[in-house]
A = this chain, B = another copy of it.
Amino acid sequence: MVRVPYTELLAAFQRALLLNGMAPDRALHCATIFAETTRDGITSHGINRFPRFIQGIHNGSVQPNAEPTCTAAFGSIERWNGNLGPGPLNAHACTVRAIQLARQHGIGCVALRNTNHWMRGGSYGWQAADANMFALCWTNTLPNLPAWGASAPVVGNNPLVIAIPRPAPATAGPAPHVVLDMAMSQFSYGALSNYAKRGEPLPLDGGFDKDGNITRDAAAIYESMRPLAIGYWKGSGLSLVLDMLAAMLSGGRATHEMPNDIARESNISQVFLVIDPTNLAPAAELNQIADAILDDLHQAPRADPAKAIRYPGEQALTLREENLRMGVPVDEDMWKEVTALAK
């Protein structure tokens, strides 16, 4: 692990994107999303995904300069075509549009088809919350989880993001929004791989071995391709309905239509649903309700007195401040790979 100054990380992403044919303003924007995700500690969907993103440009999955277009609209809901543009730029643009629709109609929803991996889904939750909006966003993915009762991947891990806006502190600094960003798998393939490499058991049951026994053996789960959905049958069902909503509302591809090959995952479908509370209630009322809920959570009796109880996204701002001050921690080999792409 090395710590790289934020500006240096951003510049490397930007230069690599320029070298791969992305227009300058888009390269800066896309690089910023990768850099901010890494800065907030989500390296798995920041720097660690960057070489695969460049590979997507090379193999034609990602069209670096394609922009999304609106194909149908009615009141507070619209359908957009991502035209295979970069997932993070498409997702950002659709969130901007959903925010506009919410200002106008109270709620705004953009269903997006033919897009690519949005990297950290939480990015778009933070974006909506910065505009003082609630957001529910989700994406489908290639099949990477067995449905409950199936012995092979059928449903996606379909990350779901829910964001609650919080006011910025009276002193300077970013607003501590509550942002849930969760995949439907109990452990990601990345996490399984890390446990397997270290030869460590998972802290909890994480999937089935090839004989169908529930196990904490990460290597066995990796081999069987049968990781568990959260809540067993429940997460399996939730994943299925999120896929149905995304594909049906957008008119785009469903999980079963995607190749089971992460390098060629493309043409995915996403939903960005934003709610503007401005005209329902004064901000002070909303903030008071949220303060009371979070205070109660923080004051709950702890299972381990040394471990604070946290809300979703609570660690992001602490990590952000630390990483901006001390440099952003990245894997040394990955940093070499990214700097090589930027040369």
Which chain A residues have a beta carbon within 8 Å of chain B's beta carbons? 72, 74-77, 79, 104-107, 109, 111, 134, 136, 146-152, 154-155, 160, 162, 164, 178, 180, 182, 186, 204-205, 208, 212, 214, 229-232, 234-235, 237-238, 240-245, 247-249, 251, 254-257, 273, 275-277, 279-281, 285-286, 289-290, 292-293, 296-297, 300-304, 307-312
The answer to whether residues A107 and B75 also contact, given A162-B241, A241-B178, A290-B248 and a CB cut-off of 8 A, is yes
The smallest C-beta distance from A316 to any residue of chain B, in angstroms, reads: 13
Q: How many copies does the complex hold?
A: 2
22 CB contacts below 8 A, A to B, read A72-B281, A74-B279, A75-B107, A79-B281, A105-B107, A106-B109, A107-B109, A134-B248, A148-B309, A149-B304, A149-B308, A150-B302, A178-B244, A186-B232, A212-B303, A230-B232, A231-B231, A237-B311, A248-B286, A254-B293, A256-B293, A257-B292
The smallest C-beta distance from A158 to any residue of chain B, in angstroms, reads: 12
The smallest C-beta distance from A75 to any residue of chain B, in angstroms, reads: 4
B107, B109, B149, B238: the one within 8 Å of A303 (CB): B149
B232, B238, B279, B302: the one within 8 Å of A204 (CB): B232
- Extra pairs beyond A151-B303, A180-B238 (18, CB < 8 Å): A77-B275, A106-B109, A146-B300, A149-B307, A154-B297, A154-B300, A160-B238, A164-B241, A164-B244, A164-B245, A182-B231, A230-B230, A230-B232, A230-B235, A240-B312, A248-B277, A251-B280, A254-B289
The smallest C-beta distance from A26 to any residue of chain B, in angstroms, reads: 28
Query: Are A293 and B245 touching (Cβ within 8 A)?
Result: no
Please report the C-alpha to C-alpha distance between residue A312 and residue B243 in the assembled complex, in whole angstroms. Answer: 13
Query: Are B75 and A285 touching (Cβ within 8 A)?
Result: no
